[in-house]
Structure 1
């Protein structure tokens, strides 16, 4: 054991001791690292390779202060270990940043893996007290080359998602179909059909062209287009306008049969004022446009003209290809058709912009306040907000020029239509009636040819990722214009198919069977679910502790907040029924698997998912239901059930591991749990009570104090900016991102509180003993956001996303956490240690 004096004498003997210690660190540290690499890579690296791979381990004996030593500001010197062999004896350290407490070094597969992960991400030449993102993630880009097609946006999340996909690939391809569950058998059918690139390339766009222009599907079990409603006027020279069937019925069938939203979103949702009831929600606020969700700015702002031009070119290229493959020969597309197609989408973007951004994203609390006011004063015109459930006669009275009979009977099941049309049950929430009057006027004022072109384009656009290389290359060119930094190439077919069977939040589809395959293959042990559930419980305790200690909340409001946090449910990893073959067979019972092209199977599956989602309307709510996909690398909170969901796809290294230090699990997965819990107390979540009902449980004084905290955070993040090549200075929108910034900050503090309450052994990583446990906690949090983003990707995120960019999710959050500055011994003038912090709890 080497003991180094930490006294004030800076004479010859101390310098000698530091040099000797450094040499021992170098020799022993490299020995351990080489053993690890020999074991994992099958060969011993050279000394220079070791230094290159593990910066900070190599210390120049002639310069005892390594790179990153105290600057002129005197803010920080990175910790170095005094000894790195595995031992059961306590060691002391000479560095003031390692808290001088005795500690033990531990080596295990999990400990060694996470050590190597951090050592290949951390840039020791960066000062963590000035820029913790540069420190924690500085080496990450050089160690993780983005795959072709992902150059614009490649992050640790991308890597984890790819790892999950690789596990799914092995699990689904190796399954024994003779004994597999019904869900896995059906999933494998979709997957195998998707992988059949020879058939996809040979078919080109003929299958889609035939479906649209003959109306006849490949198989009787698949949906078609009766009465010529699929013919795309843009490429069909024989197209003629027809008033039958109505445009309302066509809009409804695009949704119910093919999963395509066109002018507003239709979704089964728990009712805000009675969370035990599921209703039909019709809204403009969450309508995805052709360019994606919340992309209205790209349609409307002058600075995105290049993106609009690329989008119009995509429409032209796609139309030219599909005209050829539909048997129409060489297309001579009408310039006015293309112009009007884009213009209608611009008009829709203009109509929805106010509701999507000014209401849904920017000021969610004001949205709810206006809706409450409309309930008290029916004559209020504040954004025409409505929070009442309406029956069909009321809807027809309020929005008289839209054919609601045609729309609803083509959207919902026959049983539900009976309840709506005959029983006059109040099952529909139209949150902004005036929008529906406006969009009805827009449709009526637009030539029927242009309306048809837009409707069919939406279906075609959704189909492009699953078509032949020519179509996907055209899509890649547009994506390059919108996101930048990528080549106009297509994703590997395997990746497309794996992403497909993983599903997404709105359409989990095949993901439940996919999760079963992963679990049975051993990629997610049952014990991991229990461990994660236990961590959730402790983080909840941490959140409760923070609420109890809050100084700005009065007793009555605090008691309600504690009740809400205490009753918050957690749905972790996967639903148990995925391992029950009977239950799973029931879930997938009505999903057909005909022999058909993948383009047809895709459209059928979208419609099946929509109908299954809408089937929840009017039936009792199951608060324990797993909403979304269990294999997603993501997590979410539901205000209507007061529950967070963390899928098994999120519970992966480096965020979570069975053999990771507690600090790593709490800084990673624990921060995720805390983040989602904290959404229950952000600007939107705080409007709902412990049972998910919209209720004002805040006193005026507490509400005022909360709003002041929010203004602080919003203003702070609005000052985080980038200088981009094409768009100039681009800054985080503090209003748009406020809820996520609140959740990041409050969630991390809850996780840290929970972590510090653990009675865990004070072990350090044998391969990286320079970091103490608290430092590992913050490294784990930062590791979420390591990655690379092009300027265009940054602009896109600022324009369309409710999350701050990765860099400022790290910097902006940690600057508001005093425990971070204490852990890293940041000086009073350090950037990461401001005097004017913002906080929630």
Structure 2
């Protein structure tokens, strides 16, 4: 379980179960015409609009729209009309996907070169590993010939379980081998029953790692999908469950089950997962780190979830029976114990078989991979499976990130990028500090402590100072599934070794080529992988006002995460502890309620609204981040003696706000948008683009918006 706050949720096709942190709203920013979300472009529109540089910014605008009424459509309408969502993506955006596609092209070139060198022989060990992994992944004839033999031994192990004590040991073995990648990112599918991860002891001592056991066990990505509402509005949910049950049965038949047995087992699996879903905490409840801290250790776990052979599980998983264990979701684990005790052994075996098939299908043969993709089509609305080279590139990036990172940095991260980005972050930090005296709800003591937290905040830019060594992982060019399994076992062993040990402050939790950034509250650090320090977010050759609206807002967003409704509870050392006075905390929570109310009012789909509580942290970070980046830009421009206009007919202030909004131009398939409304702590793109600007008077001033228009309401939310 991780409390890391990312800039944007990952657009992975893989489906995971999260186990894996009062006011009058006035005028609302709405999307009155839902066409920008997932619709096809006007066939008469131009074939393409550039996504980078000044020309791209201007071409992406729809100047026929009043920016004071619908700023998202104004800033993004040109791009939305000229681009359609590719069939292999459930969500497609102007900025993130421009960078991602460019990065993928770089990685493909690097990996094809490594693959050729590996086949030729004589490559250095790192290149040999890269090439072997990529070659084996790309060799579909060999993978098809192997079929599902890679999991045959695992399925036989499940079939051989004689009693429920042995079942717990096998669950431990599965967690350590089939899943292996314990944590919050890169998970192909949720592990059965629960998940064990490793992270800082955020209340006991953030310099030391502990194990964390939490809810998991669902094949669908949201607990709400298992619990459709009664009445006509729940029909769609029941249709989804019927399709999911049929999908499970189909997957069982592909690994040898009879149609009759597959149908019966699929019904059993759905019943078990529905029980687990009903016992699971909601995404909003999971955000409360303090309420979810129960460091009661192995002995406490045995009391909380009685009747399970935890000694057998810990033995199978290779975990120490340690006191350094947080029982993150104790009521859920109690429900797991009840389920295991009451269900027949054969039913639990069917559930385990399904979880293994679901988690491994993508790394097996064509039949299983394509059938498994059908579930992604149902849940996200994606139309086409990504090309094999894209799947293999993503697989390698998550499996061996520090093996691929150095080659990517050498190719794509220029020497001056780090210095320029660092200077911008300094300016963002200074802008936030300068705003503290203007916040009447803060007292002097809290202001001083908040400044101290900013001063203590570490930053990582580009890539790690030390790359992880994978020499112990045997990677061959012959068998993809064997390579995947070897990496997972090695990763699990590395994670287990961290339990009770000192936190490695130099560790990165995202691959270097990833288009993302994050704030880690227990390290009090902001991290910007080289993958996001690319156009249009950042380009040393483009006007600085666009960089401030792009990467500057990224920096401001991550900085503000240290002071959002969750992050503000962590002090400068990374410990979750009260460091604000009760009066200041109360005043802050009133302002949080304002933001929650504002975003609760945004209708993303007919009858479906943004969850203001679930998205509060990210919305606060957006609101603060844009404000800080804008203030930093103004200071920078003053230091330059002024900043000449970069777009004819627009002020640079207007360009800044357009650059911010264009980060969020995107088409989204309706099922994917509905899914994200249930599980994603980020608001949909249209509301990330315009929502924060409603709360910033400087925006209304820049566009001369009359009071009472949607973008200049009489009442605003203000926190930072």
TM-score w.r.t. the length of structure 2 is 0.86
CA distance in structure 1 between the partners assigned to 2:318 and 2:644 by the alignment = 58
Aligned match of 2:187: none
Q: 1:187 aligns with which of 96, 110, 130?
A: 130
1:351 and 2:275 matched: no
- 8 Å contact 2:91–2:666 — kept in the other structure? no
Aligned match of 1:268: 198
Structure 1 residues 350, 151: CA separation in 2 closer, same or farther (over 3 Å shift)? closer
1:52 Cα offset (Å):
6.2
1:387 and 2:312 matched: no
Q: 2:408 aligns with which of 518, 528, 538?
A: 518
1:696 Cα offset (Å):
0.2
- 8 Å contact 2:202–2:575 — kept in the other structure? yes
- 8 Å contact 2:148–2:364 — kept in the other structure? no
SS of 1:525's equivalent?
A: coil
- 8 Å contact 2:307–2:341 — kept in the other structure? no
CA distance in structure 2 between the partners assigned to 1:358 and 1:662 by the alignment = 38
CA distance in structure 1 between the partners assigned to 2:91 and 2:418 by the alignment = 34
Q: 2:640 aligns with which of 750, 760, 769?
A: 760
Structure 1 residues 54, 316: CA separation in 2 closer, same or farther (over 3 Å shift)? closer
Q: 1:464 aligns with which of 361, 367, 389?
A: 361
1:117 and 2:56 matched: yes
Aligned match of 1:318: 251
SS of 1:757's equivalent?
A: helix
Q: 1:243 aligns with which of 159, 163, 167?
A: 163
Aligned match of 1:301: 228
Number of residue-to-residue matches in the alignment: 654
CA distance in structure 1 between the partners assigned to 2:209 and 2:48 by the alignment = 55
1:576 and 2:465 matched: yes
CA distance in structure 2 between the partners assigned to 1:690 and 1:209 by the alignment = 46
1:723 Cα offset (Å):
4.0
SS of 2:459's equivalent?
A: strand
Aligned match of 2:698: 819
5 Å matches for 1:572-651?
A: 572-578=461-467, 584=468, 587-594=469-476, 596-651=478-533
- 8 Å contact 1:674–1:751 — kept in the other structure? yes
Aligned match of 2:40: none
1:536 and 2:425 matched: yes
1:837 and 2:700 matched: no
Aligned match of 2:312: 406
5 Å matches for 1:684-695?
A: 684-695=566-577
1:441 and 2:353 matched: no
Structure 1 residue runs without a partner (length 5+): 1-50, 56-109, 214-227, 232-239, 372-384, 504-508, 579-583
SS of 2:212's equivalent?
A: strand
CA distance in structure 1 between the partners assigned to 2:267 and 2:122 by the alignment = 54
CA distance in structure 2 between the partners assigned to 1:810 and 1:676 by the alignment = 16
Aligned match of 2:389: 494
1:291 and 2:210 matched: no
Which 10-residue stretch deviates more, 475-484 or 300-309? 475-484
Aligned match of 2:153: 211
CA distance in structure 2 between the partners assigned to 1:130 and 1:306 by the alignment = 38
Q: 1:150 aligns with which of 84, 89, 113?
A: 89
TM-score w.r.t. the length of structure 1 is 0.74
CA distance in structure 2 between the partners assigned to 1:634 and 1:126 by the alignment = 30
Structure 1 residues 282, 575: CA separation in 2 closer, same or farther (over 3 Å shift)? same
SS of 2:106's equivalent?
A: helix
Q: 1:663 aligns with which of 538, 541, 545?
A: 545
Structure 1 residues 429, 533: CA separation in 2 closer, same or farther (over 3 Å shift)? same
1:141 Cα offset (Å):
2.6
Aligned match of 1:731: 609
CA distance in structure 1 between the partners assigned to 2:438 and 2:693 by the alignment = 20
- Over residues 44-86 of structure 1, what are the superposed CA-to-partner deviations in whole Å (9 max), with x where a residue is unaligned? xxxxxxx96999xxxxxxxxxxxxxxxxxxxxxxxxxxxxxxx
SS of 1:350's equivalent?
A: helix
1:606 Cα offset (Å):
2.6
Aligned match of 1:562: 451
1:656 Cα offset (Å):
0.6
1:202 Cα offset (Å):
3.6
Task: State which structure, 1 or 2, has the greater radius of gyration over its C-alpha atoms.
Answer: 1
Larger RCO (CA under 8 A, 6+ residues apart) = 2
Aligned match of 2:351: 454
- 8 Å contact 1:241–1:449 — kept in the other structure? no
CA distance in structure 2 between the partners assigned to 1:358 and 1:244 by the alignment = 33
